[in-house]
DNA sequence: CACACTTTGTC
DNA sequence: ACAAAGTGT
């Protein structure tokens, strides 16, 4: 009945009906209008990649059919302004309440806060819930009430919290539909024709949708979980949980995963099954890393753009698109790396181990800017997840307080024999090496000519020689690091002399933009070896079609030249990035974020409270982009131009570690806070 | 066998 | 950085 008006349940990355607190709240309140708003342009540079959109499409269809079974359906809206669309839905349905579940990336924090403000102003009651994490980030603090800065400490605390994560909620039995007669759905288009063809094979391997996610969970817990510890060293993905895409879209409740896995843990502990227990601990730890990625994003909203430890801002990245392309196409000359990149290219999937291998190679050997790699992962992975990717790449790049050392280079040859001892993985993804004996499979450059001939391999022709030698890479890395420390020291001196932002400048927010906006880059960063004309514009990189990928690789291999001409590489692997405008002007402030999620009692957070205000932005933002910079800096949705320098000071202030990582740990919080204002540092 | 030195895993 | 495990003398 229309007495209280209906509730809108706003679905985002919580595409399930089970253990969905926002949905349950809506059902409890009466009639429900379930809404999904597709506004990818709001993601700016992080417009979802092809396979990710494929997943979303099917996940939504699945959700819609579940909702229909319960008595309603999903309203879908195509939008360029989510909040505006919400408002429209409110008006056309007469809704008086809005329920949604929390997200923790900075874009969502800002957008959701704005949604709350705008709808509240319209007299709509807005309530939001935790559906994505075991514990809310603001509930997990150290003894001093401050956020943790290392995973180990964070996870230890997590596992010893005084209260358990909430128990999963059951799905509603029935949903009373709200009146949507004046609120038609828009047809959402998630893929173009070319992409459709490329995506055709995905359905063979994956089944999006929340109930399929549950099946996958059950299968994993009753199967591979017990061997998880033993098998996690293999390149083969058959032993991983394969749950990450389900988790990304919230088809699966982490709380439920946690509960079920814990039950197994208790069981195996009682049986004295050590291997099983170890496996559970490891698996839970990987769940913990996902939690931690949200935690980091919440506490450090810029973590997908800026290194959390500031010295990396002075690292002289090798801006070499030829390297970048060779890496993407699996033509680096290191079989394990190349096999991984080909698998990613072809399937959108990569075992966690191999993700570490290829990204570490990217950063340490090729010394390409880590954000390019992160962006490529975002574009290509089926489970692309900004928070997790940012954490992973920062870890690899040595920019986390507990990350691995910067100057340690992992040798893909040795890792190859570790993770793929029989070369099966390499042979599967690098057919050109299929006939090479295992002895040489991970270092063909050492193989005798006769062996290569017998295997039909001509190095430099149908399989590349190593693009960079490991020894050369080590030397180059040492040079780069000493250059980095020098620049860092110089900058610190400049700061102390009050020469202020001369050195820091906006470069810190732009460690090196993705090639599409490279030309700006170059003025900011100490950059070496830039062989390409800076005027070139790059398309976004996404995955080429599965069917054509190998053909293309073979094609190009005959040319075997790593220095690819501009024309050649602009033969886009992909359609143009739909939108390069970014939500530059969206800003948030202390109040916004504090109220964004919680009520009053949160006072710890230095991070959020220091984000600058631009009062006008909320109003303007409904009209689209305000601060489009052609050529484009990286999307920065928070700082407004005017407040920019102010934060930089804060930044410089926060980032001081000169020697290695946070030797003086008491300072670690300061080191990690971007938004520190001058007087507080 | 004790000892230093190297290698490995950390998220 | 650091601890644990492995290797060499």
Q: CA A660 → C1' B2, Å?
A: 33
User: Which pLDDT score is estimated for A425?
Assistant: 94
What value does the mean pLDDT take over residues A359-380? 93
Integer Cα distance of A298 and A286 in angstroms: 19
Strand C contacts (CB < 7 A) among A residues 441-500?
Answer: none
What value does the mean pLDDT take over residues A383-410? 86
Q: Which H or E element spans position A547?
A: helix A546-557
Q: Please determine, for residue A113, whether its predicted confidence score (pLDDT) is greater than 70.
A: yes
User: Which nucleotide shows the minimum CA-to-C1' distance to residue A659?
Assistant: C1
Q: Name residues whose C-beta falls within 8 Å of residue A205's C-beta, 6 or more positions apart in sequence.
A: A347, A349
**Token couple for A185:** 């759905």
Of all residues in chain A, the percent with pLDDT exceeding 90 is 56
**8 Å CB contact between A370 and A511:** yes
Tell me which protein residue sits closest to nucleotide B9, measuring alpha carbon to C1': A404
**pLDDT tens, residue by residue, A644-669:** 222 222 232 222 232 222 222 222 22
A578 vs A306, residue with greater confidence: A306
Does nucleic acid strand C have an atom less than 7 angstroms from the CB of A278?
A: no
Q: Please determine, for residue A575, whether its predicted confidence score (pLDDT) is greater than 70.
A: no
Q: CA A2 → C1' B1, Å?
A: 85
**Whose CB is within 7 A of strand B?**
A 150-152, 285, 289, 292, 352, 356, 391-392, 395, 400, 402-405, 408, 414, 418
Coil, strand or helix at A207:
coil
Q: Which nucleotides of B are covered by protein (CB under 7 A)?
A: 8-11
Coil, strand or helix at A318:
strand
**8 Å CB contact between A387 and A393:** no
User: Which pLDDT score is estimated for A237?
Assistant: 64
Tell me which protein residue sits closest to nucleotide B10, measuring alpha carbon to C1': A404
Which region holds residue A303: left if phi is over 0, alpha if psi is between -120 and 50, else beta? alpha
Does nucleic acid strand C have an atom less than 7 angstroms from the CB of A405?
A: yes
What value does the mean pLDDT take over residues A580-586? 28
Which region holds residue A146: left if phi is over 0, alpha if psi is between -120 and 50, else beta? beta
> Please, what is the Cα angle at A9 between A4 and A10, to 5 degrees?
140
Integer Cα distance of A343 and A351 in angstroms: 10
Q: Please determine, for residue A567, whether its predicted confidence score (pLDDT) is greater than 60.
A: no
Q: CA A13 → C1' C7, Å?
A: 50
What value does the mean pLDDT take over residues A615-641? 23
Binding residues of A, as ranges, are 228, 240-244, 283, 383-385
> Please, what is the Cα angle at A513 between A509 and A516, to 5 degrees?
145
In chain A, DSSP finds a helix count (H) and a strand count (E) of 30, 5
Distances (CA, A) of A600 to A591, A595, A597: 10, 7, 10
Q: Please determine, for residue A260, whether its predicted confidence score (pLDDT) is greater than 80.
A: yes
Q: CA A229 → C1' B1, Å?
A: 34
User: Which nucleotide shows the minimum CA-to-C1' distance to residue A356?
Assistant: B11
> A634 falls in which pLDDT band (50, 70, 90)?
very low
Q: Please determine, for residue A596, whether its predicted confidence score (pLDDT) is greater than 60.
A: no
Q: Name residues whose C-beta falls within 8 Å of residue A117's C-beta, 6 or more positions apart in sequence.
A: A592, A618
User: Which nucleotide shows the minimum CA-to-C1' distance to residue A285?
Assistant: B11
Q: CA A43 → C1' C7, Å?
A: 52
Q: CA A486 → C1' C2, Å?
A: 26
Q: Please determine, for residue A281, whether its predicted confidence score (pLDDT) is greater than 80.
A: yes
Q: Name residues whose C-beta falls within 8 Å of residue A427's C-beta, 6 or more positions apart in sequence.
A: A433, A434, A441
Q: CA A308 → C1' B6, Å?
A: 31
Q: CA A402 → C1' B3, Å?
A: 30
Does nucleic acid strand C have an atom less than 7 angstroms from the CB of A408?
A: yes
Q: Which residues of A294-325 are buried (b: 16+ CB within 10 A; e: fewer)?
A: bbbbbbbbbbbbbbbbbbbbbbbbbbbbbbbb
**pLDDT tens, residue by residue, A38-48:** 999 999 889 99
Q: Please determine, for residue A585, whether its predicted confidence score (pLDDT) is greater than 70.
A: no
User: Which pLDDT score is estimated for A243?
Assistant: 96
Lowest-pLDDT choice from A26-35, A151-160, A255-264, A617-626: A617-626
User: Which nucleotide shows the minimum CA-to-C1' distance to residue A403?
Assistant: B11
Does nucleic acid strand C have an atom less than 7 angstroms from the CB of A660?
A: yes
Q: CA A370 → C1' B2, Å?
A: 45
What value does the mean pLDDT take over residues A244-270? 95
User: Which pLDDT score is estimated for A227?
Assistant: 87
User: Which nucleotide shows the minimum CA-to-C1' distance to residue A353?
Assistant: B11
User: Which pLDDT score is estimated for A404?
Assistant: 66
Distances (CA, A) of A132 to A129, A136, A381, A604, A665: 9, 9, 20, 22, 30
Tell me which protein residue sits closest to nucleotide C1, measuring alpha carbon to C1': A661
A670 vs A249, residue with greater confidence: A249
Name the H helices within A176-320. 193-199, 202-205, 210-222, 228-231, 244-248, 254-271, 274-299
**pLDDT tens, residue by residue, A515-544:** 653 332 222 333 444 333 222 222 222 322
Tell me which protein residue sits closest to nucleotide B8, measuring alpha carbon to C1': A410
- Report for A211-225, A389-403, A560-574: range of highest mean pLDDT: A211-225
What value does the mean pLDDT take over residues A382-400? 90
> A4 falls in which pLDDT band (50, 70, 90)?
low
Q: CA A88 → C1' B2, Å?
A: 78
Binding residues of A for FAD, as ranges, are 228, 240-244, 283, 383-385
> A588 falls in which pLDDT band (50, 70, 90)?
very low
The secondary structure of residue A523, as a DSSP letter, is: T
User: Which nucleotide shows the minimum CA-to-C1' distance to residue A663?
Assistant: C1
User: Which nucleotide shows the minimum CA-to-C1' distance to residue A405?
Assistant: C1
What value does the mean pLDDT take over residues A536-563? 28
CB-count burial class (<10 Å; 0-12, 13-18, 19+) for A571: exposed
Does nucleic acid strand C have an atom less than 7 angstroms from the CB of A548?
A: no
User: Which nucleotide shows the minimum CA-to-C1' distance to residue A404?
Assistant: B10
User: Which pLDDT score is estimated for A512?
Assistant: 47
Averaged confidence pLDDT in chain A: 76
Q: Which nucleotides of C are covered by protein (CB under 7 A)?
A: 1
Integer Cα distance of A503 and A524 in angstroms: 9
**pLDDT tens, residue by residue, A221-252:** 999 999 888 877 788 767 789 999 999 999 99
Does nucleic acid strand C have an atom less than 7 angstroms from the CB of A262?
A: no
Q: What are phi and psi of A422, to 5 degrees?
A: -100, 5
Query: Other C-beta atoms within 10 Å of A526: how many?
Result: 15
What value does the mean pLDDT take over residues A293-300? 93
**8 Å CB contact between A537 and A632:** no
Q: CA A258 → C1' B10, Å?
A: 23
User: Which nucleotide shows the minimum CA-to-C1' distance to residue A155?
Assistant: B11
Q: CA A356 → C1' B11, Å?
A: 10
| pTM (2 d.p.) | 0.79
Does nucleic acid strand C have an atom less than 7 angstroms from the CB of A395?
A: no
Q: What are phi and psi of A129, to 5 degrees?
A: -135, 165
**Token couple for A674:** 């971007």
Q: CA A158 → C1' B10, Å?
A: 18
> A360 falls in which pLDDT band (50, 70, 90)?
very high
User: Which nucleotide shows the minimum CA-to-C1' distance to residue A152?
Assistant: B11
> A494 falls in which pLDDT band (50, 70, 90)?
confident
């Amino acid at each position: 009945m229309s007495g209280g008006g209906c509730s809108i349940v706003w679905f985002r990355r919580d595409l399930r009906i089970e253990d969905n607190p926002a949905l349950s709240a809506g059902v409890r309140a009466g009639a429900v209008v379930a809404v999904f708003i597709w506004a990818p342009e709001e993601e700016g540079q992080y417009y979802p990649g092809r396979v990710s959109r494929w997943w979303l499409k099917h996940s939504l269809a699945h959700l819609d059919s579940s909702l229909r079974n319960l008595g309603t359906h999903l309203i879908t809206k195509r939008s360029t302004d989510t909040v505006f669309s919400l408002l429209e839905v409110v008006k056309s349905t007469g809704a008086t309440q809005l329920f949604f579940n929390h997200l923790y990336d900075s874009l969502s924090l800002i957008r959701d806060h704005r949604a709350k403000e705008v709808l509240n102003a319209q007299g709509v009651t807005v309530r939001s819930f935790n559906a994505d994490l075991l514990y809310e980030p603001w509930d997990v603090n150290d003894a001093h009430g401050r956020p943790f800065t290392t995973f180990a400490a964070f996870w230890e605390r997590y596992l010893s919290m005084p209260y358990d994560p909430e128990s999963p909620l059951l799905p509603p039995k029935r949903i009373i539909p709200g009146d949507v007669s004046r609120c038609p759905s828009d047809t959402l288009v998630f893929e173009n024709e070319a992409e459709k063809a490329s995506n055709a094979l995905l359905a063979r391997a994956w089944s999006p949708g929340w109930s399929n996610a549950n099946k996958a969970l059950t299968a994993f817990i009753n199967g591979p979980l017990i061997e998880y510890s033993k098998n996690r060293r293999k390149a083969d993905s058959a032993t991983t949980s394969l749950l990450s895409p389900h988790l990304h879209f919230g088809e699966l409740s982490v709380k439920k995963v946690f509960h079920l896995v814990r039950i197994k843990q208790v069981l195996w502990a009682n049986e004295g099954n050590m291997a099983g227990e170890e496996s559970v601990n490891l698996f839970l730890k990987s769940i913990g890393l996902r939690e931690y990625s949200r935690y980091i994003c919440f506490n450090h909203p810029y973590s997908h753009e800026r290194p959390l430890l500031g010295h990396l801002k002075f690292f002289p990245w090798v801006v070499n698109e030829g390297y970048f392309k060779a890496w993407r196409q699996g033509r680096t000359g290191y079989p394990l790396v190349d096999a991984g990149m080909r698998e990613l290219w072809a399937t959108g999937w990569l075992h966690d181990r191999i993700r570490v291998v290829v990204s570490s190679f990217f950063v340490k050997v090729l010394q390409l800017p880590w954000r390019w790699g992160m962006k490529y992962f975002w574009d290509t992975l089926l489970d692309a997840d900004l928070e997790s990717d940012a954490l992973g790449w920062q870890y690899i790049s040595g920019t986390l307080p507990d990350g691995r050392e910067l100057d340690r280079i992992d040798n893909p040859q040795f890792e190859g024999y570790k993770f793929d001892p029989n070369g099966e993985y390499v042979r599967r993804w690098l057919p050109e090496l299929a006939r090479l004996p295992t002895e040489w499979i991970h270092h063909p450059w050492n193989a005798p000519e006769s062996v290569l001939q017998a295997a039909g391999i001509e190095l430099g022709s149908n399989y590349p020689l190593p693009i960079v030698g490991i020894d050369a890479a080590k030397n180059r890395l040492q040079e780069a690091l000493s250059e980095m420390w020098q620049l860092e020291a110089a900058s610190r001196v400049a700061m102390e002399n009050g020469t202020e932002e001369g050195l820091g400048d906006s470069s810190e927010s732009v460690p090196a933009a993705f090639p599409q906006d490279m030309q700006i880059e170059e003025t900011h960063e100490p950059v070496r070896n830039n062989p390409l004309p800076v005027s070139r514009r790059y398309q976004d990189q996404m995955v080429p079609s599965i069917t054509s990928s190998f053909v293309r690789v073979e094609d190009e291999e005959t040319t075997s030249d790593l220095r690819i001409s501009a024309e050649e590489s602009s033969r886009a692997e992909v359609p143009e990035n739909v939108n390069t405008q970014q939500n530059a002007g969206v800003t948030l402030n202390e109040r916004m974020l504090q109220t964004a999620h919680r009520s009053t009692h949160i006072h710890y957070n230095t991070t959020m409270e220091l984000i600058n205000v631009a009062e006008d932005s909320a109003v303007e933002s409904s009209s689209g982009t305000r601060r489009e910079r052609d050529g484009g800096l990286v999307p920065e949705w928070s700082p407004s131009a005017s407040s920019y320098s102010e934060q930089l000071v804060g930044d410089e202030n926060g980032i001081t570690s000169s020697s290695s990582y946070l030797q003086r740990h008491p300072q670690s919080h300061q080191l990690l806070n971007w938004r520190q204002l001058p007087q507080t540092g």
